[in-house]
Amino acid sequence: MPEGNDPEENDVVRSELFAREPLFHRPEWGTGRADLEAMTAPDYWEVGASGRTYDREFVIGVLLERYARDEPDPWSADGFACRALGPGTYLVTYTLTQGERVTRRATVWERTSGGWRALYHQGTVVAP
């Protein structure tokens, strides 16, 4: 549950963050370098479903290539949860299904004066 005792504020935080997930699968938040930089912290990093770690620059490069191909990206997400980690910092978890591939996802988000940005993301493949 987001921080604070104000249920209305908690609902706003959840709504804002859930609208940004799955991270990098929502073209309405932008698909250009500046958009991707705005939605990630300078020291952003992630652990991919493979278990490998990737820094922000690598992830942005892969995403720019993906967006340039303009291929369909069918997905569904469910099981969203949100937990406050500290002032202005939240963990969002969910399950992402892409065809036969199912992964559990986690993103750490930070609220800044410029809006929300991701600090960390992880995807873990769910065994069949």
Tens digits of residue pLDDT in 42-93: 999 999 988 999 999 999 999 999 999 987 878 999 999 999 999 999 999 9
For Cα atoms 2, 122, 45, give the angle at the middle one, nearest 5 degrees.
95
Q: Per-residue DSSP letters for 18-45?
A: HTT-STT--GGG--SHHHHHHTEEEEEE
Q: What is the CATH number of domain 7-125?
A: 3.10.450.50
Q: How far apart are CA 127 and CA 119, in angstroms?
A: 26
What is the tens place of the pLDDT at every residue in 86-122?
999 999 999 999 999 999 999 999 999 999 999 999 9
Residue 21's CB: how many other CB atoms inside 10 A?
A: 21
**Rounded to an integer, what distance in angstroms lies between the CA atom of residue 106 and that of residue 66?**
21
Reply yes or no on whether the pLDDT at 35 is more than 60. Answer: yes
